[in-house]
Amino acid sequence: MGTSTSAVATYTVTGMTCGHCVSSVEAELGRLDGVTDVAVDLASGRVTVTADAALEEAAVAAAIDEAGYGLVPTETPAAGASCCGSCH
């Protein structure tokens, strides 16, 4: 049996207020090459994207912009740093 690997990333999207917003974001992200699933949580603004390989954040941002919404930039902690400092 073959094994498949997927890349899963979660983003925060601003401006979504209803089911139509969710559908628009799902449709635009679903058009990106390699995307296999999009799950949107309207209440939190969280969007989880599953794809065949990691997606470029610029492509995700462009798709969300095309849908009419905003992407909160992903912050990456510095090497050796925790995200909030409470882990150490």
Q: Where are the domains of the chain?
A: 7-72
CATH architecture of 7-72: 2-Layer Sandwich (3.30)
- Would you call 25 helix, strand, or coil by DSSP? helix
Instruction: Check residues 54 and 1 and name the one with the higher pLDDT.
Output: 54
| Sequence letter at residue 10 | T
What is the predicted pLDDT for the residue at 74? 73
Instruction: Check residues 80 and 29 and name the one with the higher pLDDT.
Output: 29
Q: Which residue has the tokens 């462009």?
A: 62
- Would you call 38 helix, strand, or coil by DSSP? strand
Tens of pLDDT, residue by residue over 18-76, are 999 999 999 999 999 999 999 999 999 999 999 999 999 999 999 999 999 999 987 65
What is the predicted pLDDT for the residue at 88? 47
Structure letter (DSSP) for residue 77:
P
For residue 29, give the H/E element and its range: helix 19-30
What is the predicted pLDDT for the residue at 1? 52
| Sequence letter at residue 41 | D
Spatial neighbors of 76 by CB under 8 A, at least 6 apart, are: none
